[in-house]
Amino acid sequence: MSQESIDANLITAYEQASLALIESIKRALENFKEPKEVWEKWEKWKSPIPWIERVLPNLELYHISLENAKKSFNIGNLEQIIHVAAAHAGIAKDIDFDTKWMQENDRIGHNRKILVLFTS
């Protein structure tokens, strides 16, 4: 595989979509107003807990990997970008938690960000 066979604009679009998804989750967490003593009693997967403990940290690490892979790609090293692209499916699994705890506007925005990220 050559560098010319990879669309650099697609990498940039994916990087932007990744950051937008992270920001949408942070916004949803900031806007979530349910008292902690209430939502801590919910089933864990239906609460913000997986988003705080797993989803957001993993997405942030993935985004850093993507940024580093883009830098490597720009100097001609394709290995990291190929690995990051292969990890894309893992991200889909990582965000497969209930979003009903999110306010409606946040959930709609979040779902749009997911759509952009996975159709880039």
Give the C-alpha separation, 37 to 33, whole Å: 11
Give the C-alpha separation, 41 to 49, whole Å: 11
Q: What are phi and psi of 42, to 5 degrees?
A: -70, 160
pLDDT at 64: 95
pLDDT at 23: 95
The CA-based diameter of the chain, rounded to the nearest angstrom, is 54
Residues counted in the chain? 120
Q: In the chain, where are the structural domains located?
A: 3-119
pLDDT at 120: 61
Give the C-alpha separation, 32 to 38, whole Å: 12
Structure tokens at 11: 């990498």
Q: Determine whether 117 is exposed, middle or buried from the number of CB atoms within 10 Å of its CB (0-12, 13-18, 19+).
A: buried
Top-level class of domain 3-119:
mainly alpha
pLDDT at 1: 67
Please list the pLDDT of the chain residue by residue as tens digits (120 residues).
667 767 788 888 889 989 999 999 999 999 998 888 888 889 888 899 999 999 999 999 999 999 999 999 999 888 888 888 888 777 777 788 889 999 999 999 998 988 888 776
